[in-house]
Structure 1
């Protein structure tokens, strides 16, 4: 295929999305109107809706139940003999919370004043709708792809995701040469890297006694825990060497904070330091008893250049110096910092088309949190995240997303399929 023909194909797809944007927005609205809060995590209704939509477009659909009432949807279009591009999204949303704090029905899916309204509008039913729309459009336009675009639509992201992306990948239900997750991102800045995640529980033990004799008798577990927390928080003060390519990504992301999301300018140091959140603490029995135990749960996020083993060794060395009785146990999210090169074909397909279609400078950045992207990278599948969002409303009340962002993202999804599979 000549470059001109490929260019014409992309123009055809982008124009079709422009012409059919009412249908696109209607799809996104209908997704929001289906309550798929997690918890409880029942994806039955939204799975049936998506299955019907895909089948009516002429696509074959596989449904895989990874846990009771949690269904993973796999649908493929194109030739199995070429490259494979995975488009991934999740159907679950966080609970709406107190309905009295919403200015509109969180399941309305209404479009008003240029915004699509409702729970999941930004995270991530607009992005999910865009992926579905762009993929089915290939079939409707009868575009003969030399490779395959694979929809991997999962039910479980908002409560840890073990029944979603990792389950699908570990079962070998999908594989690919590149992947895109429609997680919320900045309009012109897909996410191509993320910090690592290191969660642990610390138990400190003391000696009980009558509170009136403290601190002369007993060993106060809460006091010892205070000393332990103080040492653990020194993680943030440590400096590390980063490989040049990671350093370049960090500096680009800091520029993004200064120039794009300017309200986050003060967050720049978080990208190159170990963050440490003391998230939960329990200890003691009552005021007049010397506490014999205290527990905390801590969430650390790891920058490039920091291994999980390093953090474990540092914490245990610091706690051993205190001479306290403790036990440390890992749990929850677990990964080291990971990224996809901005020069990888899947990044180029998305970022280059985003810049071309929008006429605005576009570049990839990193996030200080974690996501399903890490699972794709663990399976050696290059991945990035790009989805329409009003970032300030994610997981909050009055969630919404600008309509123009939905249309732009969907155009990018469509053009990126052509670029990635024909290259």
Structure 2
């Protein structure tokens, strides 16, 4: 696969991406309804037009998901995940342009969801077209456009994962980042999470005779300092992942205040621990 050729093609698609973004924004997929069926129709029509394999998956008829697939020559698969739903627009009179107009002006696409994340969805659609037009690609790429991301993914990514529809070797989250549209970046993201519940058992006693009891809360309090020490445990990254971590940090160093960069660096290399309720 010729990477330079792909990048050159991608650079020439700015107008196409803008037009697709505008088209996506015109569909009101805001919560509390969060309906994405019309957005899916739009994406499907584009895929069908360009001969891109696609499937619609829906746990709810009005809240649909669609995957666009470009098959590769190996069994390995890259999954791109984005979302079509958006947060409410607030007061329309406060917008420079109507929130669902998809107006293209001043070098931007204006409207609810243009940055979070219908612009990224449009770019993914064009990316699928470019890869589909290649003679061959080494790995299969699936572009998943999902619903319900803004409210926990119940009919979207969560349902797709629980039903075994998400299967791949690498996952790329297409959501935007703090760099903005003119300073895009690829970051190593979520380290994963684990919830741990510590249980201590004791024996109640009257307040006047605490020595006759066995205070379970006191036992748990003794464990708090040890839980907090986990935050200083340096993660052991796989060798092929470490350069991505370092590269992500270096990218932001020049534009990040020193104190914030120090905190960000700590979060990249160590677990984040929260001790909630005793």
Both structures adopt the same fold (TM-score exceeding 0.5): yes
Query: Residue in 1 aligned with 2:119?
Result: 126
Following the alignment from structure 1 to structure 2, what is the Cα–Cα distance between the partners of residues 72 and 197? 25
* CA deviation after TM superposition for structure 1 residue 43, in Å: 0.8
Following the alignment from structure 2 to structure 1, what is the Cα–Cα distance between the partners of residues 245 and 6? 34
* CA deviation after TM superposition for structure 1 residue 193, in Å: 2.6
* CA deviation after TM superposition for structure 1 residue 20, in Å: 3.4
Higher-strand-fraction structure: 1
Query: Residue in 1 aligned with 2:233?
Result: 242
Following the alignment from structure 1 to structure 2, what is the Cα–Cα distance between the partners of residues 251 and 77? 31
Check conservation: 1:70, 1:163, Cα contact below 8 A.
yes
Are residues 1:164 and 2:156 paired? yes
Query: Residue in 2 aligned with 1:29?
Result: 22
Query: Residue in 2 aligned with 1:277?
Result: none
Following the alignment from structure 1 to structure 2, what is the Cα–Cα distance between the partners of residues 112 and 80? 41
Report Cα offsets for 1:226-250 as digits up to 9, x if no partner.
xxxxx9xx99xx553222557x899
| Distance verdict in 2 for CA 1:79–1:106, change over 3 Å | same
| Distance verdict in 2 for CA 1:267–1:90, change over 3 Å | same
User: Structure 1: which 5+ runs fail to align?
Assistant: 1-5, 200-230, 274-302, 317-423
* CA deviation after TM superposition for structure 1 residue 271, in Å: 6.9
* CA deviation after TM superposition for structure 1 residue 173, in Å: 1.7
Query: Residue in 2 aligned with 1:11?
Result: 4
Report Cα offsets for 1:2-58 as digits up to 9, x if no partner.
xxxx4xx22222222233332222111111111111221111111111111111111
Query: Residue in 1 aligned with 2:43?
Result: 50
138, 144, 149: which one aligns with 2:141? 149
Following the alignment from structure 1 to structure 2, what is the Cα–Cα distance between the partners of residues 250 and 190? 10
155, 171, 193: which one aligns with 2:189? 193
* CA deviation after TM superposition for structure 1 residue 111, in Å: 2.3
Higher relative CO (Cα under 8 Å, sequence separation at least 6) belongs to: 1
Are residues 1:177 and 2:169 paired? yes
Check conservation: 1:54, 1:60, Cα contact below 8 A.
yes
| Distance verdict in 2 for CA 1:257–1:136, change over 3 Å | closer
Following the alignment from structure 2 to structure 1, what is the Cα–Cα distance between the partners of residues 233 and 245? 10
Check conservation: 1:73, 1:153, Cα contact below 8 A.
yes
Name the Cα RMSD after superposition: 3.3
* CA deviation after TM superposition for structure 1 residue 128, in Å: 0.9
Following the alignment from structure 2 to structure 1, what is the Cα–Cα distance between the partners of residues 134 and 23? 25
Report Cα offsets for 1:273-302 as digits up to 9, x if no partner.
8xxxxxxxxxxxxxxxxxxxxxxxxxxxxx
**Length-normalised TM-score, structure 2:** 0.73
Q: Please show how residues 184-223 of structure 1 align to structure 2 within 5 Å.
A: 184-185=176-177, 186=179, 187-194=183-190
62, 66, 89: which one aligns with 1:69? 62
| Distance verdict in 2 for CA 1:129–1:188, change over 3 Å | closer
| Distance verdict in 2 for CA 1:147–1:272, change over 3 Å | closer
| Distance verdict in 2 for CA 1:244–1:151, change over 3 Å | closer
User: Structure 2: which 5+ runs fail to align?
Assistant: 196-220
